[in-house]
Amino acid sequence: MREHFSNLTDYLYRVAHKLDLYVGIGAGIIFFAIAYFASIGEQAVVTVTLAIFAVSLFLSGYGVYREERQMRAEREGGIKVAVRSGSWAFNYPDPGPDKVSLIVHLFWEVWVNQDVSTDKLALNLIHVYDRPWWQFWKQTRFPQIGIPRKGKNSAQYRVMIYASDNQPFKDDGAFEYVGDRAEEGDPHWLLELVLITGMPVGEHRIPVSIDYEEMRTRGTNPPL
């Protein structure tokens, strides 16, 4: 919670230093003064003045938002993460009545063009429900849990990846999950590996797909 308030304070500070905000405030004051001496209706003056202030505040906030998005894209653009599945098992062995289970072994590779310090890593399990096409407003994705690597009690993942090292950096881990069966409906499962870096600050979410054909033919060597 303290971190969120710290980010909010920094955001408001940056908004307060945007030129758009002061241009809007100045325009509002000028309009108010002209309208006052021109004897325009009090209600109309207040409404338009507040509208000018609101628009200037919106433009300033949106400008800071775009700057933040651009800086984040630049930071994360220097890191590329790829994931592939090694093995997986769904509800095997039998987890018991009204239970579901997942065991998956993942391999990930990371390319960097600058030194990177990782912070956290976990496999997100997301329930996805079908919906009629016309219910476009209805939410279909419901994140359930972030699964840490097997043998770890948390998602902490502290690794230093140097740009001068051979690329890519490679690692792997197993993820296991046993939980209650969904009470409503029969959702699809969506998996995504999440890697959070501390330096530079970034967040990478990579969907994990199961290539059933590749799994079936793994270990065979067809003629070239």
Per-residue pLDDT, averaged over 101-108, amounts to 94
C-alpha to C-alpha distance for 79 and 201, rounded to whole angstroms = 11
Percent of the chain with pLDDT over 90: 34
pLDDT digits (tens, 9 = 90+) for 200-218: 888 899 999 876 666 666 6
Query: Is 134 in the same domain as 29?
Result: no
Query: Is 84 in the same domain as 136?
Result: yes
Averaged pLDDT score across all residues of the chain: 79
Confidence of residue 50 (pLDDT cuts 50, 70, 90): confident
Q: Residues near 215 by Cβ (< 8 Å), separated by ≥ 6? A: 85, 88
Name the token pair of 36.
């006052």
| pLDDT of 156 higher than 60 | yes
Is the residue at 156 inside a domain?
Answer: yes
pLDDT value for 5: 41
Per-residue pLDDT, averaged over 133-138, amounts to 78
Query: Is 59 in the same domain as 147?
Result: no
Is the residue at 30 inside a domain?
Answer: yes
Domain end point (choices 76, 91, 109): 76
pLDDT value for 166: 92
As beta bridge partners, residue 82 has: 109
Domain end point (choices 41, 76, 111): 76
Higher pLDDT, residue 86 or 11: 86
Is the residue at 139 inside a domain?
Answer: yes
| pLDDT of 25 higher than 90 | no
| Closest C-alpha to 203, from 70, 79, 110 | 79
Structural domain harbouring 127? 78-217
Tell if the pTM clears 0.85, that is, is over it. Answer: no
Which one-letter DSSP state was computed for residue 156? B
Residue 160 has phi, psi (to 5 degrees) of -105, 120
Q: Which amino acid is at 72?
A: R
Domain end point (choices 15, 43, 76): 76
pLDDT value for 134: 81
Query: Is 107 in the same domain as 161?
Result: yes
pLDDT value for 68: 63
| pLDDT of 189 higher than 60 | yes
Query: Is 40 in the same domain as 98?
Result: no
Q: How many domains does the chain have?
A: 2
pLDDT value for 1: 39
Is the residue at 66 inside a domain?
Answer: yes
E-assigned strand segments in the chain: 79-90, 99-112, 116-128, 141-147, 160-161, 169-180, 188-199, 201-208
Confidence of residue 4 (pLDDT cuts 50, 70, 90): very low
Is the residue at 224 inside a domain?
Answer: no
Is the residue at 223 inside a domain?
Answer: no
Residue 113 has phi, psi (to 5 degrees) of -115, 10
Query: Is 195 in the same domain as 160?
Result: yes
